[in-house]
Amino acid sequence: MFGLDKKDFRLLLLVTVLVALAPFILNPFPEGSGMAQFNAGYPDLMQRFVIFGIFAIGFNILFGLTGYLSFGHAAFLGVGSYAAIWMMKLLTMNVVPAIIVSVIVAGVFSLAVGWISLRRSGIYFSILTLAFAQMSYSLAYSVLTPITGGETGLQPKVNDPRILDGSLADGATPKANLFGLEMGSSIEWSVGSWLFTFNAGYYVAAIVMLLAFYMSIRIFRSPFGMMLRAVKSNQQRLNYTGLNAKPYTLAAFVISGMYAGLAGGLMVAMDTQVGAERMFWTASGEVVLMSILGGVGTLIGPVLGAGAIKYMENILSKINSDILHTWFAFLPDGLEDFVVTLIYPFIGKGWHLTLGLIFMLVVIFLPGGLVEGGQRIARLFGRKKKSTDTPDGKTTPAE
């Protein structure tokens, strides 16, 4: 189906179902219950899940397949965002041109950066990409302020030209839309004490993400994808087998840059604003964390990683010591305080600490990330039949 083999098609189907039902799956707890704070089914966060999923899928095409570790991918995301916001200011609040232009601009920019950076490999490549990204960030903050809005960033203003849109009604603010469907609009559905939100923006982003995911499966399974894995495995052999590694890696770099641009464009489509901090090197580091955490070089891993990190960032960080105290109220007082003190550094504002620790543990013990962890557990319980269980990348680069 769709040119995929059975296993990949099943994976795509599974992801599609999960994404479509996310408003239910992520909101398992009734409103007002003590567990409601673990609900992640609100539009803002769900959008972030899929958008960062796209970012990570694209990054994985470069790092997962070729092994070239870029520390500057946030630059492409940022450039895509700026391109998208300018489309919204000049052309129309419809997200379609914004997203298309963001991909194209990011693609052109990554072609330039990749063409230079790929002259070197190993850590030199990482440093070159980092240098380019930091330069873009610094320039966006300072000299390029007329284009980037500097520290304040950019938002669509009421009096922007927007040549394709009619003039706004008095007092109306420009809102991102898809042929009239506003990205911010939601349908709420309450069942008993549960509340489910279906957000237009989320579903638009989700469809784009599924397309991006589908394309990445096709790339993984194509001869092109195999060549990229060959680059990672043994570049010398590749050269002496009559293949020129450079255009392959450059193509991978540009594709992943375009994915980043797409993610940037979608971000703007959702919240219609950009700031230079989106390009800071820690943002590049974040996508590295996502890919590794989920399982680098696997298809679904980066999406899982992006989801896990965004969940921690938004949910884990909201837990404070009062909440902890209510959880452990059943313990004797002294013990309760002790347990709370023990856990407290890892939650709330300290969620980065948890992230850092988990990340280290994954790099040390579980190089295949969450996907490998899942496979190990599956094997442990032996639930899956042998035929469907693929031990990491023997014939295919795992799921």
Partner 1 sequence: MGILEVKNVGKRFGGLQALGDVNLSVAENTVHAIIGPNGAGKSTLLNCLVGKLIPDTGSVMFDGQSVLGRKPYEINQMGISRVFQTPEIFGDLSVLENMMIPCFAKRDGAFTPNAFISMMKDREIVERAEEMLVEMDMADARNDNAATMSRGNKRRLEIGMCLAQEPRLLLLDEPTAGMARADTNNTIDLLKQIKDERDITISIIEHDMHVVFSLAERITVLAQGTPLVEDTPDNIKGHPKVREAYLGESQDAA
Partner 2 sequence: MEAIILQILNGLDKGSAYALIALGLTLIFGTLGVVNFAHGALFMIGAFCAVTLSRILTLSHTVVDETQKDFLGNPLKVDVPYVMDWFGESTGAAIIDWAVPLSILFAIPVMIAIGVIMERGLIKHFYKRPHADQILVTFGLAIVLQEIIKYYYGANPIPTPAPAAFKGSFDFGAMMGFDPNTIIYPYWRIIYFAFAAVIIGAVFAFLQFTTFGMVVRAGMADRETVQLLGINIDRRFTLMFGIAAAVAGLAGVMYTPINSPNYHMGMDFLVLSFVVVVVGGMGSLPGAVAAGFLLGILESFASMREVLAVLPGLNQIIIYLVAIIILLTRPRGLMGRKGVMED
Binding footprint of partner 2 on the chain (CB under 8 A): 67, 69, 116, 119-124, 126-128, 130-132, 134-135, 138-139, 141-144, 281-282, 285, 288, 292, 345, 349-350, 352-353, 355-357, 359-360, 363-364, 367
The partner in contact with residue 130, picked from partner 2, partner 1, none with C-beta cut-offs of 5 to 8 angstroms by kind, is partner 2
Q: Helices (DSSP H) in 118-199: which residue ranges? A: 122-141, 145-148
Residue 3 makes contact with partner 1 by CB under 8 A: yes
Q: Using CB under 8 A, which of 131, 243, 315, 366 touches partner 1?
A: 243
398: phi > 0 → left, psi -120 to 50 → alpha, else beta; which?
A: left
Give me the residue label for tokens 């957000």: 199
Residue with smaller CB distance to partner 2, 266 or 324: 324
Smallest distance from partner 2 to CB 57, Å:
19
* Dihedral of the alpha carbons of 38, 41, 43, 47, in degrees to the nearest 10: 90
Closest CA to 37 of 244, 260, 356, 316: 316
Residue with smaller CB distance to partner 2, 97 or 285: 285
Residue 12 makes contact with partner 1 by CB under 8 A: no
The partner in contact with residue 105, picked from partner 1, partner 2, none with C-beta cut-offs of 5 to 8 angstroms by kind, is none
The partner in contact with residue 54, picked from partner 2, partner 1, none with C-beta cut-offs of 5 to 8 angstroms by kind, is none
Residue with smaller CB distance to partner 1, 229 or 376: 229
β-strand pairing of 186-191 with 177-178: unpaired
Smallest distance from partner 1 to CB 216, Å:
10
Residue with smaller CB distance to partner 2, 206 or 355: 355
- Distance, CA of 187 to CA of 104 (rounded, Å): 33
Smallest distance from partner 2 to CB 172, Å:
37
Q: Using CB under 8 A, which of 167, 241, 282, 387 touches partner 1?
A: 241
What are residue 7's phi and psi, to 5 degrees? Answer: -65, -45
- Distance, CA of 39 to CA of 238 (rounded, Å): 49
Distance of CA 202 to the CA centre of its chain: 14
Range 249-288, binding partner 1 (CB under 8 A): 251
Residue 15's contacts (CB-CB under 8 Å, 6 or more residues apart) are: 210, 213, 300, 303
Beta bridge partners of 274: 154
- Distance, CA of 399 to CA of 327 (rounded, Å): 37
Give me the residue label for tokens 């994985």: 60
Smallest distance from partner 2 to CB 295, Å:
13
Q: Using CB under 8 A, which of 190, 244, 326, 341 touches partner 1?
A: 244
Residue with smaller CB distance to partner 1, 251 or 279: 251
Residue 238 makes contact with partner 1 by CB under 8 A: yes
Assigned token pair, 18: 């999960």
Burial letters 270-305, b for 16+ CB under 10 A, else e? bbbbbbbebbbbebbebbbbbbbbbbbbbbbbbbbb
Q: Within 13 A of 61's CA, how many CA atoms are on the CB side? A: 32
Residue 358 makes contact with partner 1 by CB under 8 A: no
Report helix, strand or coil for 13. helix
Residue 173 makes contact with partner 1 by CB under 8 A: no
Residue 387 makes contact with partner 1 by CB under 8 A: no
Assigned token pair, 145: 């302020």
The partner in contact with residue 356, picked from partner 2, partner 1, none with C-beta cut-offs of 5 to 8 angstroms by kind, is partner 2
Smallest distance from partner 2 to CB 286, Å:
11
What are residue 191's phi and psi, to 5 degrees? Answer: -120, 110
Range 193-222, binding partner 1 (CB under 8 A): 218-219, 221-222
Give me the residue label for tokens 């419809």: 94
User: Which span (38-46, 74-82, 157-165, 240-248) binds partner 1, by CB under 8 A?
Assistant: 240-248
Assigned token pair, 246: 């450079």
Residue 367 makes contact with partner 1 by CB under 8 A: no
Q: Which residues bind partner 1 (CB under 8 A)?
A: 3-5, 218-219, 221-227, 229-230, 232-234, 236-245, 247-248, 251, 393-395
